[in-house]
Structure 1
Amino acid sequence: MSFNNVPVLRLDTHILILYQMNLFRIPLLAVMLCVGWMARAQALGERNDFLRYVNDPRVDSIYHHLTPDERIAQLFWLMTENLHDPKSVQRVMSLVQTFQPGGLLYMRNTAADIVRFSAQASAVSRVPLIYSIDGETGAAMRVKGIRALPKAMTLGAIADERLLYRAGDEAARQLRGLGIHVNFAPVADVNVNAANPVIGIRSFGEDPHEVARRAVALMHGMQDGGVVAVAKHFPGHGDTDVDSHLALPVIGHTRARLDTVELVPFDAMIKNGVMGVMSAHLEVNALDTTRGLPASLSKPMLTDLLCHGMGFQGVVITDAMNMKGVKKAGQPGRVDALALAAGNDIVESTEDLGAAITSVKQAIDAGELTWCDIERKCRKALALKLWAGCGAPLPEPNDSLVTRINSGMDATLLPDLYRAALTVLPGAADTVALTPDSTEVLLLVMPGGKALADSIAAHRPAKRLNLVVGAKGEVIRQQLGRHAQVVICTGGFADARKVWNDAALAPLWRWLWQHNGVRVVVADSPYRLHQLKNIERAREVVLVYEAVPEAFQAAALYLSGQLTPVGRLPVTVSNLWRCGQGK
């Protein structure tokens, strides 16, 4: 079957002109979807407007030229890994050519490999593919060489929603530059468990309403930038002590608790037009009493709660079906059919596409699904492609691709984000004021802290003393003098913790806590503060969240009096330092 034979009476004039001019060396169906991108661009500011295409004549034409098996296959997005491996490439290419799936999910690869593979896959797919990625920090999370945006926990310290919108828009710009249409972000999980092994700093924080505000702002930036945003991981992965990649977490909270914490960000994002929601591999007893059944396979959670109860009409997408949190629920293929029957529209990363298509047809025969369900889901999937501009020409996969993407970033964005995130936490203990004998800043530099110290020293005179494991605390104390400021520069956290808790340095710490007002700059997760013994006795802790140049620069500006701190702590880390606190 060739889509070059789509009846012309179903096409509008613009499609016929483009086809006759042969502007793009792609099938006619791809041209049809390109025209959808042009139409969508005229309504860029509208929220969640892809559903208007569900009954569009172009979707009709596509849908009616698909076989029943191909209509099912459109509901599956395949995972691609190791694109430098010819066997891995051939395996996915064979699946695309044989079954005609709806799209691909890219894991860790180079930019050139991703674009090159997209072109190869497009050449054997009769329907333009939709390309997706986990881009929580922009393209950098999966694409080598791209400049990363701050992690969600860093963004959680920022109150200015305009900055968060800019971050979302930049993520969209990067992904569009790679030909990617869907971003599995933002994370809408409320991380109320500091020991959470899989979410943690991927979350905006522990206050559900603050998480909601930031998730919505980031989502608007992405979708206004032309990329589908996907809220994850429904109904909330923020209070688990098990990684769903490895096993099935169980959530035991009441429905009332879920309504006031976990579901709040999802509700806000739905009301603001998020196009996609990812279903999680979590057992949630208050929403479905079936033991061992994850949310991703639960009709009460997806159809009854998410779609009917919360009014979500966008695309429901499973988390990866190769994760152990779902694998025990059934064999590959069968679990995919169960996922569609539960209310998912798209199944991500099936382990056996052929078996999945067969299992879906068996589920239809058994009355678990209907062909009407398949048509509704398929039309929704095609409408999403039309909105996203699938089939548009891809960028050239050359060596300058990463450079072009990086050079297109607004030069002020990362400095603005890290300066807005910088959070100053006051210490608990009073110190004895000393009359300084030097205006220099004394930098106590821990392993890995050199770059931070360099940034501080560039803004004012500074003396340095390096702290290493085994150093004699009393000897170092005698070298301190009476400096106006003492700043401890932490670097790689594992090494800093070893030095900080080294018994040989105990005399130094005792003297510092008692006699000098000490500032400690921490370039890591706030959850790690408790690992630095007695850190609350510092005069203040300057939290910059990440060990990157822009964060170090923000610390240097603050310590030299050139930056007023406005960041707020996104999570509670002790009785002294609680969520929302900041100087």
Structure 2
Amino acid sequence: MTIQAGHLMMVDLPGLTLDDDTAAHLTTHQIRAVCLFGKNVQDEEQLRRLCRDLREVMGEDALIAIDHEGGAILRTPFWPAPPSAMSLGATDDVALTREVSEALARQLRSVGINWNFAPIMDVNTQSANPVIGVRAFGADPALVTRHALAACAGQAEAGVASCVKHFPGHGDTHQDSHLALPRVDRARSELEATEFVPFRAAVGAGVPAVMTAHIIYSALDNEHPATLSRPVLTGLLRDEWGYDGVIVTDSMGMKAIDDHYGRGEAAVMSLAAGADLVMALGRREAQLATLTSVAAALQDGTFDPDDMERSVRRLSRLARQYPAQAQPDAQRSGDAALFAAAWRRGLVTVGDATPPAPGSRVTLIARQEEARTNVSEAGLPARALARALAPMYDLKVLDYQEATELDWKALREEGRFLLLATAGRHLQPGLTGATPDLHLCLYNAYSMLDVPAPALLSFGAQPEALEAVVEWLRGEVQVSATLPFPVDESRQARAT
């Protein structure tokens, strides 16, 4: 087998179609793996055509991947939106998680996508985590394990390969690896009790792929992030745990890598560390730099040839076990109802959360616009929520921007029911000292920790999540789910 650098690379595409230049690039370098993003998605037929063209160019070993986690991590607004992982964790019904995961995977399979970069196996123990949050099933390793494995099983049933991430865990970080190089200084014993639990179970279950984290774990390798660490990828995952599935890096264009290593250098380091596939996303120059460096390393003896052959075989096995061929989704008609019911079941109340009475005077306080943040899609603008609530109340809308300072004392003196809605990752500075009658946490569940008020948590701001919230406000939904992360007693007391 003559291994080419392109066999060990995944790239992204510039647009909605496979243009001649990009097709020639894939063919010339024998690249067999691509990752799709929102820039590549317009509608279902366009996406199906793009996947068909990619398979024709890349052949039967084609791997066409996407982030289709649910909640805010979706690239396909034309399909019903499945709930976020934390919504499912709050419900804690593994049968539901498997059913939802099978349905979202059928969506992908219907257009020819054969690899989903999900589920998240991070145990979100850090409430200030800027990038994981509700993407995780929760803060308990056992809960995360059972739901992530159920999600993998559901996707496999639909013919789509899972990829658990971000090994060995991104749940205890204060930094986003898109923007910085995080470091976790927990002892090995702590990692064994928390971060490792789901991933070790995933290895035992034979999950088809694992994605690495761009994080330094000092107990495992004090110098290099896991993505570039042979002690982590080979020593721990391959040798100690016996994993023989595909190891794929997270995007090498993230600042955790790009700001500290050259693209080519990092690619060579990751493959030498034990990765099978380097996610060389971004501009063409970065892809070419990666190709050049990996090709040189294949020639000069940097890599063990047997390791590289094993990597190519693993990738080929994955693609042939989960072929990138479109398959009609005969069960599509029931997905919208399934997802809507799942969003409803995931609602959680904190404290004495009570809806305002129908027809009462309500002031809705919500951000004017929630911007897109890294991997997540845009949040919920105030006007969209106002449209949903206007038929129910004598509604006044106060939409604020990031720098707005709100006078909560003056608002309370108006004698109206104060309904605060937050949908972003972080509570805005202008909300310091907020004292609403009810806090609707529509995306960042952890923002409820900063507001001493009763709260309703939906773990997402998709239209389906918003509809579940409105149904609760109308008194049509009985909440039975529970918070999948701990809240101290003082916070509970302030919310009551």
- Equivalent residue, structure 1, for 2:268: 337
The 1:451/1:104 distance shift into structure 2, 3 A limit, reads closer
Q: CA deviation at 1:143?
A: 2.9
1:572 corresponds in structure 2 to 486
1:245 aligns with 2:178: yes
Q: Is the counterpart of residue 371 in structure 1 residue 305 in structure 2?
A: yes
Counterpart among 116, 134, 137 of residue 49 in structure 2: 116
- The amino acid across from 2:274 in the alignment is G
- Among candidates 321, 330, 335, match of residue 387 of structure 1: 321
Among 418, 422, 438, which residue is 2:343 paired with? 418
2:278 equivalent in structure 1: 347
The higher radius of gyration belongs to: 1
- Shift in Å at residue 104 of structure 1? 1.0
Residues 111-130 of structure 1 deviation map (CA, whole Å, 9 limit, x = unaligned): 44443333333344455422
Alpha-carbon distance change, 90 to 525 in structure 1, aligned in 2, over 3 angstroms: same
Q: Which has the higher contact order (CA 8 A, sep 6+)?
A: 2
Match of 1:476? 414
Q: 1:324 to 1:545 in 2, by over 3 A?
A: closer
State the 1:476 CA deviation.
Answer: 3.2
Which position in structure 1 is the counterpart of 2:446? 527
Distance apart, 1:557 and its partner CA: 4.8
Kindly indicate whether the alpha-carbon contact (under 8 Å) linking 2:167 and 2:210 is maintained by their aligned counterparts in 1.
yes
Q: What are the within-5 Å matches in structure 2 for residues 266-285 of structure 1?
A: 266-285=199-218
TM-score where L is the length of structure 2: 0.81
Task: Provide, for residues 108-164 of structure 1, a one-character-per-residue CA deviation record: whole Å limited to 9, x for no partner.
Answer: 122444433333333444554221111111897123433322222222212111111
In structure 2, stretches of 5+ residues that fail to align are 367-381, 399-405
Deviation at 1:555, TM superposition (A): 4.1
Aligned to 1:207: 140
Q: Is the 8 A contact 1:106 1:114 kept in 2?
A: no
Matched, 1:307 2:232: no
> Gapped runs of 5+ residues in structure 1?
1-63, 396-403, 432-437, 481-485, 510-517
1:264 shift after superposition: 1.2
Give the match's secondary structure for 2:394: strand
User: Residue by residue, what CA displacement relative to the aligned partner does 1:293-332 show, whole Å, maximum 9, x if unpaired?
Assistant: 1211111101110112222221111111222222356433
Partner amino acid for 1:94?
A: A
Q: Quick one: which amino acid aligns to residue 122 of structure 1?
A: R
Q: 1:92 aligns with which of 15, 19, 22?
A: 22
Cα pair 1:490 1:523 within 8 Å, conserved: no
Change (3 A) 1:326 1:499: closer
| Alpha-carbon offset, residue 180 of structure 1 | 0.4
1:324 is aligned to: 255
Distance in 2, Cα, partners of 1:216 & 1:164: 9
Displacement of 1:221 in angstroms is 0.9
Against the structure 1 CA distance between its residues 236 and 465, is the aligned structure 2 distance closer, same or farther, given a 3 Å change threshold? same
Picking from 19, 35, 39, the partner of 1:105 is: 35
Amino acid at match of 2:484: P
CA contact (8 A) 1:443 1:453 kept: no
1:183 aligns with 2:183: no
C-alpha distance in 1 between matches for 2:191 and 2:429 = 39
Paired residues of 2:115 and 2:161 also in contact (CA < 8 A): yes
**Counterparts of 1:106 and 1:261 in 2: how far apart (Å)?**
31
Does structure 1 retain, via aligned residues, the 8 Å contact 2:246–2:315?
yes
**Local SS of the residue matching 1:175:** helix
- Partners of 2:362 and 2:395 within 8 A in 1: yes
The letter of the residue matching 2:323 is G
Q: In 2, Cα distance between the equivalents of 1:246 and 1:498?
A: 21
What corresponds to 2:377 in structure 1?
none
Q: Deviation string for 1:227-269 (max 9, x for gaps)? A: 1100111111111222222232111111011111111111122
**C-alpha displacement of 1:405:** 9.9
Partner of 1:230: 163
Partner of 2:378: none
CA contact (8 A) 1:115 1:179 kept: yes
Aligned partner of residue 95 in structure 1, secondary structure: helix
Instruction: Kindly provide the amino acid, as one letter, of the partner of residue 364 in structure 2.
Output: M
Aligned counterpart in structure 2 of residue 141 of structure 1, from 46, 62, 74: 74
Deviations 1:180-204 (A, max 9, x none): 0001111111122222222222222
In structure 1, C-alpha distance between the alignment counterparts of 2:361 and 2:459, rounded to whole Å: 19
RMSD in angstroms over aligned alpha carbons?
A: 3.7
Distance in 2, matches of 1:317 and 1:348, equals 7
TM-superposed CA distance for 1:470, in Å, is: 7.1
Alpha-carbon distance in structure 2 between the residues aligned to 1:547 and 1:498:
21
| Cα pair distance change 1:297/1:453, threshold 3 Å | closer
Q: Which amino acid aligns with 2:210?
A: V
Matched-pair contact (CA < 8 Å) for 1:146–1:406: no
The one-letter amino acid paired with 1:410 is D
Deviation at 1:100, TM superposition (A): 1.2
CA–CA distance in 2 between the matches of 1:387 and 1:339?
25
Cα distance in 2 between the residues matched to 1:393 and 1:163: 25
- Deviation for aligned residue 1:354: 5.2
User: How far, CA to CA, are the matches of 2:263 and 2:358 in structure 1?
Assistant: 65
Number of aligned residues: 463
Query: How high is the sequence identity, in percent, across the aligned residues?
Result: 32
Match of 1:444 in 2: 362
SS of the aligned residue for 2:159 comes to coil
Q: 1:452 to 1:286 in 2, by over 3 A?
A: same
Q: C-alpha separation between the residues in 1 aligned to 2:218 and 2:431?
A: 43
Distance 1:576 1:101, change over 3 A: same
The correspondence for 1:168, drawn from 67, 79, 101, is 101
Distance 2:46 2:389 in 1: 39
| Corresponding residue to 2:11 among 60, 75, 78 | 78
Contact in 2 for aligned 1:211/1:265 (Cα 8 Å): yes
**Distance change (3 Å), C-alpha of 1:257 and 1:465:** same
Counterpart CA distance in 2 for 1:439 and 1:235 is 47
Deviations 1:409-454 (CA, angstroms, capped at 9, x unpaired): 52321222122211122259xx9xxxxxx98563624045787688
Could you tell me which amino acid in structure 2 is paired with residue 442 of structure 1? S
Deviation >6 Å, runs of 4+: 449-458, 494-503
* Greater Cα offset, 121-130 or 218-227: 121-130
Q: Is 2:454 aligned against 1:545?
A: no
> What SS does structure 1 have at the residue aligned with 2:336?
coil
